[in-house]
Homo-oligomer: A and B are copies of this chain.
Amino acid sequence: MKREHIEQINAAVEAVKAKKKINHFYFVACGGSMALMMPAQYVMDCECEIPATVYTANEFIHRMPKALGKDSVVISCSMQGKTPETVEATRLAREKGALTISMSHNVGSPLWETTQYPIHYDWLEETDMSNHNHTILHSLVFNILNTIQPNEKYERACKSIEKMDAIFKANIEKYASKALEFGENYKREEIIYTMASGGSYGPAYSFAICLLMEMQWVNSNCIHSGEYFHGPFEITDYDVPFIIVKGIDQTRYLDERAHKFCEKFSDKITLIDAADFDMKDMDEDLKGYFASLVVGVVLRGYADALADFRGHPLTVRRYMWRMEY
């Protein structure tokens, strides 16, 4: 990690440490940035005695949870730092006395100027991926955990961020041919479901709404593996495509159960099993938390391949950036 990132994270963590009481952690963002928050919120949920929730920014603004106040910590994120809802949510949270920490690729952006503790992240450059949004956020979360309830596990987690660049790159390579196969086999599909749970729900949601719906105009829905059996599974048929993610965190059983059922009735299953990831020398008790970040990076390769075979670049939009809305 870069020195600037470490310093920005440290400043935010010191501010968390200085709070006498914390009633809640709010993770607030939109779309892909909100999805990014989900693995982080999962870590907090599993490890922290203070509850945490994820809100899409405009729901947060208008719902305005009454519990939000001076005892709250709000963590927000926007790539360019210009998403109006995320900026406004951060401004409102700060006005209500909450501690605000925000991540943005764009230094000096509206979000950067609105928040108390801005944190920069790199993006898409061919550089060290441990400086990207997901890893920076994991670093922030494990540093916060280590501050409010010190534990050698969290110290190891903070240090493990450095291992992620090699892990991401190894798995991008490992899944390159499978991604191409996916792109070729699924290029004609009009709908592709995704399914996941736990820390991997976020990347699977992001793939469904950003990569498939937004960037490929392919219908989708990210089904929670636990919810699958309470309605959505009736849609399963031999010709209905599912991308199923099996995580290696605490909810793996849910994914395994959904996969086991789904493969009996659908001939079009693409399985991303985090147990097959090359996690290098990542500590056993931390693998689950970091594997969910790898899910997102691997899935990105599947989207690239699909876009290529469909002749529909991921950069093409019909509404976004092209009109007011």
Q: Which residues of A contact B (CB under 8 A)?
A: 23-24, 30-32, 34, 42, 45-51, 53, 56-59, 62-67, 69, 83, 85, 191, 197-198, 208-210, 213-215, 217-221, 223-224, 226-227, 229-237, 250-251, 253-254, 257, 261, 265, 317-320, 325
Contact between A317 and B62 (Cβ–Cβ < 8 Å)?
no
List the B side residues contacting A235 at CB < 8 Å. Answer: 213-214, 217-219
The complex places the Cα of A215 from the Cα of B317 at a distance, in Å, of: 34
Q: Is the CB of B31 within 8 A of A46?
A: no
Q: Is A213 a contact of B226 with CB atoms below 8 Å?
A: no
For residue A167, give the distance in angstroms from its CB to the closest CB of chain B: 23
B-chain residues with CB within 8 Å of residue A69 when the two chains form the complex: 49
Question: Which one of B30, B219, B226, B236 lies within 8 Å of A191 (CB-CB)?
Answer: B219
Known: A67-B50, A234-B217. A62 touches B251 (CB 8 A): yes
A231-B217 contact in complex given A50-B67, A53-B53, C-beta closer than 8 Å: no
* Complex: A59 Cα to B199 Cα, angstroms: 10
User: In the bound complex, how far is the Cα of B31 from the Cα of A230, in angstroms?
Assistant: 5
Whether A65 lies near B45 (C-beta < 8 A) is yes
* Closest chain B CB from A88 CB (angstroms): 12
A257: which B residues are within 8 A, CB to CB?
325
Instruction: Say whether A62 contacts B253, CB under 8 Å.
Output: yes
A188 smallest CB distance to B (angstroms): 15
Give the CA-CA distance A48 to B219 in the complex, in Å: 37
Say whether B66 contacts A49, CB under 8 Å. yes
Contact pick for A213, options B57, B217, B231, CB 8 Å: B231
5 tightest A-B contacts by CB?
Answer: A31-B230, A221-B221, A58-B226, A209-B231, A214-B231
On chain B, the residues within 8 Å of A227 by CB distance are 30-31, 34, 56, 209
